[in-house]
Amino acid sequence: MTILILYYSRHGSTQEMARLIARGVEESQIEATVRTVPEVSAVCEAAQDDIPSQGDPYATTDDLRHCQGLALGSPTRFGNMAAPLKYFLEGTTALWIEGALVNKPAMVFTSTASMHGGQETTLTSMMLPLLHHGMIISGLPYTMTELNQTQSGGTPYGASRVTGSRNECSISEDEKQLCIKGGKHLAALVKQLATETNS
């Protein structure tokens, strides 16, 4: 079983969250496959190499087809997910026609510069295409005590962090724990579904 951690990150904040979610998944004895997406250009189709020169490999639609769960992450861009991730998702029509993602659990995560800069809108915007794919969306339950005490990121809609306008804020302990616990929560859902399907 594998959970796909699919993210876009320009400056590394969302990438750091992806790593923490992967840690939560792997601490639950499920493999985490971490993948990113290439940049898109305003003037022409991106023609980047299939494998980036550094960082995580680019995702393919087969990564989505073969995963048992998905954590989807993006920096907030004007209150919405970033274009490279949306572009990738718009290339998943074949999976939608096949129903390849139906009933797979998913969670979302984001990073913003400012506290009230649109975390919740970004998180819910990322849920919409996943709902069209028939995925089962999981938020973060308030039994995760960090949700009540955080002074920065962390929402019931998904993991989040505040980086400051110059990326000067390192991830807080509450934000970090919510990423790890989010990964564990997703892994538990994947295991529970697998057990019920096999029984």
Ligand X SMILES: Cc1cc2nc3c(=O)[nH]c(=O)nc-3n(C[C@H](O)[C@H](O)[C@H](O)COP(=O)(O)O)c2cc1C
**Interface ranges with ligand X (CB under 6 A):** 9-15, 75-79, 111-114, 117-118, 163
In this structure, are residues 83 and 125 in contact, taking their beta carbons and an 8 Å threshold? no
CB 187 within 8 A of CB 3: yes
- Is 160 or 177 the residue whose CB approaches ligand X more closely? 160
Q: Minimum distance from CB of 109 to ligand X (Å)?
A: 10
Q: Tell me the C-alpha distance between 155 and 114, whole Å.
A: 14
Q: Are the C-beta atoms of 107 and 138 separated by less than 8 Å?
A: yes
Q: Please, which residue, 104 or 161, has the CB nearer to ligand X? A: 161
Minimum CB separation from ligand X for residue 114, in Å?
4
The nearer residue to ligand X, 89 or 189, going by C-beta atoms, is: 89
CB of 19 to ligand X, least distance (A): 12
CB of residue 180 to ligand X, shortest distance in Å: 18
Nearest residue to ligand X by CB is 117
15 vs 68, beta carbon nearer ligand X = 15
Q: What are phi and psi of 16, to 5 degrees?
A: -65, -40
Using CA atoms, how far apart are residues 62 and 146, in angstroms rounded to an integer? 35
Q: What angle do CA 148, 150, 155 make, to 5 degrees?
A: 70
For every residue of 173-185, DSSP letters joined together read HHHHHHHHHHHHH
11 vs 66 by CB, closer to ligand X: 11
Q: How far is the CB of 73 from ligand X (least distance, A)?
A: 8
